[in-house]
């Protein structure tokens, strides 16, 4: 059996087209162009690359981006003051603080300062709290898990009553992923670094989401035949034949797992493009929320 490949790149491209159409429509109607502010603190090269990619993606769909770059020794007060300034800026509908922040900064305090109406990353404690509560709706859902949910829907996966195993429990991927699956009525198991015998859990799963950051950890004999496997992991492995000397692989051993799974996402070209598409979608939603607020105050 060879798995169906879930093409995140193609699905994300379709979503970006749709966002562009909606942005063009609203600008033609005289509504403000959606704006995303990115806050980068320090010189982490990976963070710089992520911010650049997000700004480029914004430009492609007509979302304006406002880049802010603070030095690596910026104080807690300086970062929080910038967030407050952006909260008050009507051109800015979404605020993205690129994580991780330098160690001396209190990340949770910074994220808590973002207005929940501009929290397009969905990391504000109120948005996460609402995600965890029955009958409550977060304004924004974290982009990577939100993207995974779209991939599962597009692949026609029935989550109702399904056994889902999430590998990883981080604030940005594993935990919100598990919460979204619970909301979709799956029975969810979360595995992490202290879990005993992870394969015993994954072998029972109809859906496996891998978000651990360990190259090719998930093997074919961990997977129930026909299960759906979503690989969030992005890991650099040495490859002297590659131009850069490395290449990117997921947390799933794609070549062997694809022979067992019913459907699988590749790395790259699976979850990654969806994360950015969801950020753009959240920014458009933030602009729409601001329209409603203005209208109600008029």
β-strand 235-238 against 246-249: which pairing, if any? antiparallel
Binding mask 258-277 for ligand NAP (x = CB under 6 A): -------------xx--x--
Q: Please identify, using beta-carbon distances, which residue of 84 and 108 lies nearer to ligand NAP.
A: 108
Binding mask 172-191 for ligand NAP (x = CB under 6 A): xxx----------------x
Q: Please identify, using beta-carbon distances, which residue of 262 and 270 lies nearer to ligand NAP.
A: 270
Q: How far is the CB of 274 from ligand NAP (least distance, A)?
A: 7
d(CA 183, CA 105): 33
Cβ within 8 Å of residue 275, ≥6 positions away = 143, 144, 147
Catalytic, out of 55, 113, 119, 121: 121
Q: Please identify, using beta-carbon distances, which residue of 228 and 271 lies nearer to ligand NAP.
A: 271
Q: What angle do CA 119, 120, 122 make, to 5 degrees?
A: 70
Catalytic, out of 54, 113, 118, 224: 54
Q: How far is the CB of 286 from ligand NAP (least distance, A)?
A: 20
The CA-atom distances, in angstroms, between 282 and each of 41, 128, 161 are 22, 15, 28
Is 89 a known active-site residue?
no
Determine if 150 is a binding residue for ligand NAP (CB under 6 A).
no
Is 54 a known active-site residue?
yes
The CA-atom distances, in angstroms, between 103 and each of 76, 106, 143, 252, 289 are 11, 8, 23, 30, 33
Is 121 a known active-site residue?
yes
Q: 70 phi and psi, to 5 degrees?
A: -105, 150
The CA-atom distances, in angstroms, between 61 and each of 64, 75, 93, 250, 288 are 9, 34, 15, 28, 16
Q: How far is the CB of 110 from ligand NAP (least distance, A)?
A: 17
Determine if 145 is a binding residue for ligand NAP (CB under 6 A).
no
Q: Which one of 55, 65, 144, 283 is in contact with ligand NAP (CB under 6 A)? A: 144
What is the number of other CB atoms lying within 10 angstroms of the CB of residue 30?
A: 6
Which single residue is written with the structure tokens 């699988």?
264
Helix axes 143-154, 174-183, angle to 10 degrees: 40
Q: How far is the CB of 268 from ligand NAP (least distance, A)?
A: 8
Q: How far is the CB of 108 from ligand NAP (least distance, A)?
A: 14
Contacts to ligand NAP from residues 194-213, by CB under 6 A: 194, 198, 211-213
- Residue numbers at the binding site for ligand NAP (CB under 6 A): 144, 167-170, 172-174, 191-194, 198, 211-214, 232-235, 271-272, 275
Active site residues: 54, 98, 121
């Amino acid at each position: 059996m060879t798995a169906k490949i879930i093409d995140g790149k193609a699905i994300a491209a379709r979503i970006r087209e749709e966002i562009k159409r909606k942005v063009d429509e609203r600008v033609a109607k005289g509504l403000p162009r959606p704006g995303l502010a990115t806050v980068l603190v320090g010189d982490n090269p990976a963070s710089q690359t992520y911010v650049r990619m997000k700004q480029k993606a914004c430009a492609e769909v007509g979302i304006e981006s406002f880049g802010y770059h603070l030095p690596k020794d910026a104080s807690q007060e300086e970062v929080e003051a910038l967030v407050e300034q952006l909260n008050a800026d009507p051109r800015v509908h979404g605020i993205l603080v690129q994580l991780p922040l330098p160690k001396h900064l209190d990340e949770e305090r910074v994220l808590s300062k973002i207005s929940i109406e501009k929290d397009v990353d969905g990391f504000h404690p109120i948005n996460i709290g609402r995600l965890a509560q029955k009958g409550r709706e977060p304004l924004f859902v974290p982009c990577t898990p939100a993207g995974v949910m779209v991939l599962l829907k597009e692949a026609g996966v029935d989550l109702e009553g399904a056994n889902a195993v999430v590998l990883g429990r981080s604030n940005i991927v594993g935990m919100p992923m598990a919460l979204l699956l619970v909301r979709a009525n799956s029975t969810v198991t979360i595995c992490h670094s202290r879990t005993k015998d992870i394969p015993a859990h994954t072998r029972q799963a109809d859906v496996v989401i891998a978000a651990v950051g360990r190259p090719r950890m998930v093997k074919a004999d961990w997977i129930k035949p026909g299960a759906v496997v979503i690989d969030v992991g992005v890991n650099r492995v040495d490859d002297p034949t590659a131009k850069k000397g490395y290449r990117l692989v997921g947390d799933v051993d794609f070549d062997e797992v694809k022979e067992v799974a019913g459907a699988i996402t590749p790395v790259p070209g699976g979850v990654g493009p969806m994360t950015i598409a969801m950020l753009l979608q959240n920014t458009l939603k933030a602009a729409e929320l601001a329209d409603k607020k203005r209208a109600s105050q008029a």
